[in-house]
Structures are given as structure tokens and as C-alpha cells.
Structure 1
């Protein structure tokens, strides 16, 4: 794009461009995300020689802390571990949240419990983000590069779970967990690579040097992670070591950021065995990505054609006529070649066959097993199961940790899954938690497990009501809640379950009328059991119910009774108010008439006396004598 006007005439535009450049530079120079956990540690720890910081083990569920016996010299010098007794469940996880989206190197170190009473080394499986990446092999504690597992995974949802699955051979014990962000395009190869691929490190060798080392000791870029290179000075029965102090070009380059020191030693074929050959045991019928590292560090090679060789994998030529000097234009420059192959057997054989000139040479080899990342369980259904776990009070021994359905080798106990091609996620189609001593209630959001075909929670101690939302699980065929402590009435919504073939609600404390749309269903080859509920009525085998009232009638009666009660209260209130008014009026009248009555009484007495005197005056003596006679 060409600017049609001078930038210096537009200071605002110039400032924006400078800010943009600064932001891009800052984003490029930012440090990668790093999380290291010292399992079982109660405080942060720094280990030598690289002053590596390990965070304390806090906020993760399950397991117990104890002291560690480190079985390998390559392990970090940590003194504690976390182990997971089988009584805590068969699946236990470290879940780390708030992780920036990106590509990560995940490494888990194992250790032995520092107590002879715990028996021999444990054998267990490891998964990362729901994908099983490794199964420990017997004798791992005696093999240096088997005391840890390492994989490269994409994080797209800001969280990462590393889980440990018991196989019944001892208690899984974990020394440390590392989560190291690497370049988003690290170890990119062909069309198989991507967010659906997990790369598990099967072997990583630095050739010509007997000393094993990590990238940190090599002083490499942080964006390369922190790879462990197992030192080897000779391939089995072939080769001899050479080394140099000369600087090497084309090394710490994005996206893999290999350390320079990796290319300063090599193995070269000898006269007795000019070809170099290396073999290892692998998992059959898997794809493997193999990375070859070369640098012409022999000063006697001064031109092209002086060292030419082929690279074969299990007898097939994958790179022909490799000439390091000619490809890189001289000595002391790093050349990296990558090939992905399918291995059908249990052995991977790498051969460098000399074609012309000096014997074949190699500086380092990396071998990764390609593992198809598992699709995760639907987030909505995982949340519903987590709520169910809480409301049912599931014991730790059931081990509901991590992803319910994956890895497929270790689903949650009592959970049946199937892959839903339409959504691209695993979903839950069965719950079988009968006879588990559960003491809780059924949450309303159990209906979010909308793919359920069977629910069996019989012979527990569940209480409360049956959620009406269960009636929205359209495909439900079996519902067994028998022999619990459930109460209240049977939801009418259960009658909407047209696929329901088995309904066992017997042995509870349910009451009320059995919904009519359930009462007649057994005639259609369904098996329903309502016995053992003293309060239920309405179908043969249960007590008879009173007159059946519809819901509308029940609501009408309730409103009528409420209206009548309000009317009676209103009448009482009016009567009480009227009586109070009358009494108040009488009291007022009495208080007003009292002085008038007293004066009238006095006047009547005086008038009586006055009339008596007048009557005596008017009476004559003759009349009095006549009256006497």
C-alpha cells in the first residue's frame, strides 16, 4: 500500500502508527505463560541450578500430601508429592483456570512415596484436556525418561485439566506439573497438525553428548518451552561422538526455538559400521512425527558432496541424498527435517545410510506420537452433572472429576455417554447410581441432561419432590426412583414422556392422585410401579380417591374459600366498628346530661314542699273533724 500524502503533515496519524508499532512490538516481546506446581508443597519453592519457581499446591481437590522419593536424577529437586488413594475415586484432576488461549507444553513428573509401607511403584493412566496421553509402564521408576510424560496441546477455553486415572495397581502419585506456553505454530507439520492433535513426546535425544539437559540449561528461548534432551554418545553398536565450540547459525528461530548447544555435538558413523541405526518400542497403528537435526560441525568437510546419506524409517526412504553442507551453504548451520509416518508394528527403526563420502552424521532426534484429541462433553451437560453431584452428595469414591465421558477409557462411574455427531460433543444418555447411599435431592436442572434415556437412582435416601422438569426429557425410557424418601405428588408432566416404558416410584412417601395419563399407560406394554406409597390413590392396587377435581376447580375452590374468609373478617370488622361507635356516643351523651338532671331533681323537691304547705293551708277545721269522725 502506498501513502498518497506525507505522514508528517498528519501528526495524529503518525502518533497512531507509532502506538500501533509499539503495541505489536510489546505483544511480540511478551513473556509466555508459565505455571509450575510442586505437588504436595505448602509453600512456594525455588530449585537449583536454574532458580526455577514452583508454586505451592493449593486449591486443587482430592488426594493427600506426603514426602516424595525421587526416582530419577532428571526430576526437579522437590520433596513432596500428592497421591490419590482409590478411596478418593478412580479419577483425580488438577484443573488450572484463567490460562491464555494458545499452545502449551504440559509435563508431569511422577515420584514414589517415601514410605516403604506404601508398596511398589504405582501404574496409572494420564490424560490432558480429556485425551489420554500415556499409560505408565512397570519399571518406570528405573528409566530416566519414563519418570515424566510430556505433551503439546492447544488451550481454547481458558482452562486445562491434567487427570490421573487409577488402574488398580497402586495409588497414583504426582511430583510436579508444568504448563509452559510455546509458539502457536511450534512443531507444525502437514495437514494432520492442528487443534485436534496432541503431540506426546515419545523420545528426545541429543547425540554425541552423554549429558542429559533441559533447554533452560542450554539457555534457549522461553517460547520454545523447556524440553528435556536425553544425552547419548553412541547409538547401539554404531557411531562415535564429535563436538565443537563453534557458534551455530539458524538455531533459535521461530516457531521451535532450538538451542544452539543442541547442534554442537553429533554422532558420526565409523568404519566398522558406517550406517547409523536407532530403534525404539512404540504403540502400534499410530502416526509418529519425527524431527531430525543436523549441522555439519566436522571441519574436514569443506564442500558439497563430501557427506551424503539417506534417511530410512522402518526400511522406507523418507529423505534421499541428504547433503548438509550443500543444503545450508556451509558448515555450522542448523538443518531441521521433519517426516510424519504411520507405524503399524511395535518397533520404530531409524537408519541413516551412507551413500557417498564421509559417514552419516546426526545431532539430535525428536519423536512425537500423534494422538487425536478427544471431543469434549457438552458444557451444558457437564454443568448439570456438577450440580447433580452436589445435590446428591456424591461420595469421593465415585471420582466425578474431569470430563464425564473422556477419555473414553475412563468415563465417570455411573455415567453412560454417546457421541452426538450433530453437535460434535459427547452427551449423557444414562445415569446408574442405584445402591450408592446417596443422601440428597434431585435438582430442577436435571432436565438439562436432555439426551437421557435411563435414570436409575433406586435404593438410596433421596428426599424432596420429583422435579416436574423431568417431564421435558423427551427420550426418557426408564425412570427408577424406587425405595427412596421422596414425597409430595407425582408431577403431571411425567405423563408427557411418551417413550417411557419403565417407571418405578414404589417404596417412597408420595401422595395424591396418580396422574390420569400415567394410570392407563401399563395397558400399552409399559411397566409402572406405584406401590408402597401410602398417600397415593387413583389406580388399581392403590386406595380410592375422593371426587376428582380438575386443577381449575381446585383453584376456584381455593379462591372461593379465601373470598368467604375475607368476607367474614370484613363483617366482624364492621360490627366491631359499629359497636364501638355506639358505646362512644352513649358515653358522650351521659357526660353531657349529668348537670341538667341534678338541677331538675332539686327543683322537683322544692316544688313538692311548696305544694304540701299550700294544701295544708287550704284544709278547714271542719273538714278535718269530719275526716276524723
Structure 2
């Protein structure tokens, strides 16, 4: 019964429609370009270079035929800072091939050839060496396989003082999650920097797209290798199809296995030697397919593979291991190299000749741990608030790569969290003119801050009191104003406090003047408004904030009343003066009218008197 159920489930799964795998994410940027552009011969789309970084766009000089045919580049003069980065956002979580094409602003010479370091996601992966621009090969770009897990990609160029970094193009191409898996140490903490990728027997160098390769292969570049030198080999090729070529997770193009180098009777060993950096680990990938018509079955060609004198693979029989002729075989070995050379030898043990189709060599780089995100954010805010000059750079990660930390930032590693943090800020006498933001408290583990000798303005942020690890705080000789925050009294580890040479006022917090400063060095001089500790003026009665507000309001009301009374008095005085002026103007008329009124009154008075006398004497007169 169970057997029938399994068969039935298998039948239905077989009937289920299969959906094609989505296309891999691809971001290609033409540095310095103002518009999107398509490059020949494959009509590849390159996006315009917009708002990713600083630098200066100019017309490009291509150092190699490998370089895409793009007309512009972006270069980074040292005056804009030693660290310059492209920060590309909205990159999906995944495994990527990241490739950076180098450019030239002008024809290079010994004095102006750009020699700089390149880092990806805070890990330095390459240092350009003198003479790189004279080699028309894979030196035209820097490439690595890296996991991008935080939604962005950071690609930085670090000046060494010899020429200005110049970049023509950037590619970020998604590959299979398990591409180039080489063993248990492989994973997100590992970056594989491409050191060499050779197509043996090929006449021309080609990209994966030229090979019509699967896009999940990352459009790798394969440099042609027609001989290992000294007539030790010959080329061979085939047009037959190759089985097991473009398989997950690496998706090698079939054409890679259709050419090969074969050793000769004169020199039966096939040997390839290259220079490497000492004391590094290298992951070596060797590609084989039995395309020699003289070999038709198992046991006809057997050889050992020796790397730096040690047998890495013994009795390699391509037909046996791959399962057939014209069938791809990939062998991988990761080794530690102590010297400065890497030698790979195919030593025949049966059949007389060795064969190889392609070689890939990667340096295994341990990815740097990054700085705590909150601290990076705080440093970026500090950069804007203080108006840091361009020469500081302050781009990318403050602490990594370790070879290029931000100028003025001292970093320490937190082993418990595997992250870096900022331990000290030394930005004294740098001509800073901004203000100190509250966000500086995001640097939770600061032990030293020295911002002396600048022109920083504004108040001292009270948030400094939350950085309880502070041992040294030097803000002397700036233009800080306002009062000293009470919160600075919480800095129980403080040993040196310099606030002299500012415009501070008010009472020095009691905790600073008493408990802390008995064992600390401090300087409050040259602040004419400070008071409250020995060496400074005595403060007046201490008023609470509420009392100060009440006094202010009372004074305002009193002033308003005085102004109101003065206004009323002034208006009344004006009315009186106006009335007096009118009276003086009309005085003659008023005098005449007064005399006339008096005469009328006198006449009326005498008339009444006469009438009364006549009335009294009337009868006697009639008689």
C-alpha cells in the first residue's frame, strides 16, 4: 500500500508544472555617466551614475580591451578625502560577483599612475601595484565573490597618495547561493577574491556572455592561455557538445571545455606557475574534459596533480571521474601558501600526456567585522553637524578596513559582539565650524573626546552625560555658549575636563565642582560668565528655574504697566496743551463778548429797578 502511495505522489509531482528560475539580480553602473547607456557588442545596459558617491566625472581612458566601451569615469582627488565609496542600496540578500573596472584620467607615468586599495563591504581585497596599467589583461578590474546581507553594497577606494583612484564601471551580479563552495569554512564570513581565471587553449579572452553562458554564472571573464611556455604544450579543441558543463551551482559555460592544453613528448608534465602574496590561503579550481580524440575510454590517460610540491589529487582519470569522454570534471583544492609562488603540475602516470581545460584561482579573504550600526549612524550625524572638510573623507565604515580607519577616529573590537566601536575622537585644531549634536551619545563607549582649538558653536549637549565611559573631555577654545549641563556630573570616570576658552556662563554643576573634580584635572578659565567653584567668581543667590521664570514674568508685567501709565499721562498732557493753545487764540473775541454780556446785564438790572420804582409811586403820580 505504501509503495502505491509513493508511486502516486511521484506521479503527481511529475505532472506539477515547473516554473523557470527567475533571472538573477544585476546592477551595472557606468561611472560618471549622466544617462543610461548600452555598450557594444552585447548591447549591455549600464545605469547612469547618480547620487552614489562623490568624486569628479570626466571622459574615460580605457586601460584594456577588457574594459567596457563606456565614455566616462569618476575619479577621486585626494583633496576630497582618502576614502571614497559607492553605497548602492536596495540590493537583495544574496551571493554576488562584484566587479570594479579601473580607469585612467590620462596616460599614466611613474608619477601619476593610480595606486590605491579597494575594499568591499569593509574588507580590503586588493592593492594596486606599480605597473598595473601597462598589462592588457585581467588587471583592468578587481573582482570578488561576496555575500550581501544588509540590503546594500559598499565599495570603497582608499588613496595611498600616489595618483587619484579612477573607476569606469561597477557590476553587482547575483550568483547561486552555493557558488564556489569549497568546504566547511566557506560561508558569509568569507570573500573569494579572483586572482586568476584562465581558459586554456582559447585564442581570445571572453566573458560568460560571449560564451552564451548561463546568467547565474555571473558573466565571468576568462582570459585566454595558449601556452604555459617553453614549447611545453600544444592546444586542442572540439566542436562536440560537453556534458555536465553548465550545472548548478557554478554554471560553467560549455565552450570553456571545448579547448585545452595538452603536454608534449618533449615535456610530459603540464606546469603552471604564478606569483602570489605569501601567507595566504588560495582556493584552486581545475577544469577538465577529455576532448582529445586519441583517448576513448577509461585508463588511457591518468595523471597526478601536484600543488607546490604536494600531491593534491592522485591518479586522475578524467573519463572515469566524469563518466564519459566529452564530459566536464571540476576539481577543487584550498591550500595555504607560505611562499611567493604557486605552482600547479599535472604529472602523467599513464598515457604519457596531461591535459587541462581551465584554471581558476581565488584568494580566500576573511571578511572584516563591521562597526556597530548605531555608532556608524552617530558618526555620520557628527560629520554633518561639525561640517567636516572633504579632506577627512569619512566615507564607508569608520573602523574597517583596518588599514584605512577614519581620520580622527580610534576604534576597538568588541569580541563578544564581533563588532567594532569608536573608543576615541581626536579632532583638535581642524578648523571645524559646526555644532556638537545630541546624537554624539550614540557613541556609547567613547573614552576620549578632544575637539579643542576649533570654532564649534552652540551649547554643550546634555546627552554627553550619558557616555559614562568618558575619561577625557576637551572642548576648550571653541565658541560654546550657555551653561554647563548638570548631566556632566554623571561622568563618574572623568579624569580630565577642559572647558576653558569658551563663552559659557552660569553656575558650575555641584557634582563637577565637588565629588568628581577632587580627583580630576579641570579647567574652566576664560569663561567670563562661569561661577561657583574656587578660582571663579562667587555666584549670587541660587534661584530655581521656576523662580527665574516668575521674576521674568513679574518684570515684564511691571514694564507693561509703566509703559501704559506713561502713555496715558502723555495723552492727557497733550490734551491740556491743545486746550491752552485754543484759549490763547480766541482771547479778544472772548473779552468783547464778556463786556457786552456785562453791559446787557447792567441794563437789565437798571430797567428792573426803574420799573419797580414806578410801580411803587404810580398812584400818587396819577393823583
Aligned-pair CA distance for 1:346: 1.3
Give distance in 2, aligned partners of 1:453 and 1:314.
Answer: 49
Counterpart position of 2:465: 471
Counterpart position of 2:132: 140
2:499 pairs, out of 491, 505, 510, with: 505
SS in 2 for 1:218: coil
Contact 1:248 1:263 in 2 (8 A): yes
Aligned-pair CA distance for 1:210: 2.9
Give distance in 1, aligned partners of 2:291 and 2:186.
Answer: 32
1:156 pairs, out of 149, 154, 158, with: 149
Contact 2:492 2:516 in 1 (8 A): no
Of 293-302 and 64-73, deviating more is 64-73
Counterpart position of 1:112: 104
Counterpart position of 1:278: 272
Mapped pair 1:314 → 2:314: no
Mapped pair 1:182 → 2:175: yes
Superposed CA RMSD in Å reads 3.1
Give distance in 2, aligned partners of 1:414 and 1:153.
Answer: 29
SS in 1 for 2:535: coil
Aligned-pair CA distance for 1:566: 7.8
* 1:512-523 mapped onto 2 (5 Å cutoff): 512-520=506-514
Counterpart position of 2:533: 539
Mapped pair 1:83 → 2:75: yes
Mapped pair 1:300 → 2:291: no
Aligned-pair CA distance for 1:192: 1.2
SS in 1 for 2:482: coil
Counterpart position of 1:344: 338
Aligned-pair CA distance for 1:282: 1.1
Aligned-pair CA distance for 1:407: 0.4
Aligned-pair CA distance for 1:161: 1.0
Mapped pair 1:98 → 2:108: no
Counterpart position of 2:28: 36
Counterpart position of 1:124: 116
Contact 1:504 1:528 in 2 (8 A): yes
* 1:380-529 mapped onto 2 (5 Å cutoff): 380-520=374-514, 524-529=518-523
SS in 2 for 1:216: coil
Give distance in 1, aligned partners of 2:167 and 2:413.
Answer: 31
Counterpart position of 1:208: 201
1:48 pairs, out of 40, 53, 68, with: 40
Contact 1:522 1:528 in 2 (8 A): no
Q: Structure 1 residues 393 and 568, CA, compared in 2 at 3 Å: closer, same or farther?
A: closer
SS in 2 for 1:493: helix
Q: Where does the alignment leave 5 or more consecutive residues of structure 1 unmatched?
A: 8-13, 574-611, 625-629
Counterpart position of 1:602: none
Contact 1:236 1:277 in 2 (8 A): no
Q: Structure 1 residues 278 and 495, CA, compared in 2 at 3 Å: closer, same or farther?
A: same
What are the superposed Cα offsets for residues 289-336 of structure 1, whole Å, 9 maximum, x if unpaired? 111100000122122111000111111111110001112222100001
Give distance in 2, aligned partners of 1:497 and 1:221.
Answer: 61
Aligned-pair CA distance for 1:51: 1.0
Give distance in 2, aligned partners of 1:232 and 1:297.
Answer: 17
Mapped pair 1:68 → 2:49: no
Aligned-pair CA distance for 1:363: 0.4
Aligned-pair CA distance for 1:114: 3.0
Mapped pair 1:558 → 2:552: no
Give distance in 2, aligned partners of 1:117 and 1:262.
Answer: 37
Mapped pair 1:165 → 2:158: yes
Of 65-74 and 114-123, deviating more is 114-123
Q: Where does the alignment leave 5 or more consecutive residues of structure 2 unmatched?
A: 565-608
Give distance in 1, aligned partners of 2:537 and 2:193.
Answer: 66
Mapped pair 1:255 → 2:249: yes
Aligned-pair CA distance for 1:68: 2.0
Aligned-pair CA distance for 1:565: 7.7
Give distance in 1, aligned partners of 2:385 and 2:555.
Answer: 42
Give distance in 1, aligned partners of 2:548 and 2:133.
Answer: 77
* 1:17-36 mapped onto 2 (5 Å cutoff): 25=19, 29-36=21-28
Counterpart position of 1:599: none
Aligned-pair CA distance for 1:619: 8.7
Give distance in 1, aligned partners of 2:454 and 2:251.
Answer: 58
SS in 2 for 1:380: helix
What are the superposed Cα offsets for residues 570-596 of structure 1, whole Å, 9 maximum, x if unpaired? 9x99xxxxxxxxxxxxxxxxxxxxxxx
Give the alignment's TM-score, normalised by structure 2: 0.86
Give distance in 2, aligned partners of 1:116 and 1:277.
Answer: 34
Give distance in 2, aligned partners of 1:124 and 1:200.
Answer: 16
Aligned-pair CA distance for 1:523: 5.6
Counterpart position of 1:246: 240
Aligned-pair CA distance for 1:119: 5.2
What are the superposed Cα offsets for residues 315-367 of structure 1, whole Å, 9 maximum, x if unpaired? 11111100011122221000011111111111111111111114111100100
| Total equivalences in the alignment | 572
SS in 1 for 2:360: strand
Q: Structure 1 residues 141 and 116, CA, compared in 2 at 3 Å: closer, same or farther?
A: closer
Counterpart position of 1:222: 215
Give distance in 2, aligned partners of 1:309 and 1:501.
Answer: 71
Runs of 4 or more, structure 1, over 4 Å off, are: 1-5, 115-119, 559-570, 615-624
Q: Structure 1 residues 441 and 534, CA, compared in 2 at 3 Å: closer, same or farther?
A: same
SS in 1 for 2:48: coil
Of 415-424 and 148-157, deviating more is 415-424
Contact 1:483 1:508 in 2 (8 A): yes
Give distance in 2, aligned partners of 1:483 and 1:32.
Answer: 56
Aligned-pair CA distance for 1:234: 1.1
Of 151-160 and 38-47, deviating more is 38-47
SS in 1 for 2:177: coil
Give distance in 1, aligned partners of 2:548 and 2:144.
Answer: 69
What are the superposed Cα offsets for residues 598-622 of structure 1, whole Å, 9 maximum, x if unpaired? xxxxxxxxxxxxxx9xx99999999
